[in-house]
Amino acid sequence: MQETGTRAQEEEPEERPELANLRVRGRSVKTWVIGAGAVVLAISAAFGGLNKADAETPALTAGATVDAGQFAVIVDRMVAVKDLEPTFKPDPGGALLVAVTRLKVTDDLGTTPPSDLIRLIGVPGIKDTDPPLGVSTVDDNTTNPVLTPDVEQTIAFVWKLPKLSELPTEAKVTVQGYKHYDESILDHHEKWLPDAIAAEGTIKVKDNTKVVTK
């Protein structure tokens, strides 16, 4: 008696194609995966997503020049003031914290100081991600000034402090670095994009809240 069907003859399992041999739109799946990973890394790097401050970040000290790519940056001092009328005013009962800097554009095109160039870390009442309330020149209070290439200008970055009675004695400051791209992956134009943190350090805060600043 002859057995039929699967009992009579064992069928060999169907051979499955290797992942590397599968093709989508003429390209292997492996190539698509690698390509997608490269795009994610490139976009993340363009926004500074993979470039956090770490133990190797250069130390920031008051008065020292920092190479931030698009800018040469000097953080001269940190000052707490009661107000900077008529340009900047604190909330009732609060004060202002000012990073007084000297900036020089290293590019051949003038630009305004980016809001993320200077950030404060660990200051009570100010989130680490908070941009400044405003940016202005110190000599004539021009807000969001256009910096001239190779000309050093004194620029104030201003934040609000919630309580005049609780002023910080020091502040950790970071300087954002920028990298030049001949062709941006976002719009294929030449531009500067955030790179690694160029420097970070703690600077003492001078209390000038009793000084009239009008």
- Sorted by sequence, the CB contacts under 8 Å of residue 110 that are 6+ apart come out as 146, 147, 148, 149
Whether 33 is in a domain gets the answer no
Please give the torsion angle defined by the CA atoms of residues 66, 72, 78 and 84, in that order, rounded to the nearest 10 degrees. -170
In Å, what is the CA distance from 86 to each residue of 82, 89, 109, 128, 143? 12, 7, 30, 26, 11
Q: Is the pTM of this model over 0.75?
A: no
Cα–Cα dist 17/124, whole Å = 59
Whether 120 is in a domain gets the answer yes
Whether 118 is in a domain gets the answer yes
The pLDDT of 118-124, averaged and rounded, is: 97
Strands (E), the chain: 23-24, 27-28, 65-67, 71-81, 95-105, 118-121, 134-137, 153-161, 170-181, 191-207
Whether 13 is in a domain gets the answer no
pLDDT at residue number 190:
80
Whether 108 is in a domain gets the answer yes
Whether 49 is in a domain gets the answer no
Whether 22 is in a domain gets the answer no
Whether 78 is in a domain gets the answer yes
How many structural domains does the chain have?
1
Residue pLDDT, tens place only, 162-174: 999 999 999 999 9
Nearest of 110, 109, 102, 108 to residue 147 by alpha carbon: 110
The model's confidence at residue 211, banded by pLDDT at 50, 70 and 90, is confident
Residue pLDDT, tens place only, 2-58: 444 444 444 444 545 454 454 544 545 444 343 444 343 344 444 444 444 455 899
In Å, what is the CA distance from 24 to each residue of 27, 36, 39? 5, 14, 18
Tell me which residue range forms the domain holding 78. Answer: 64-206
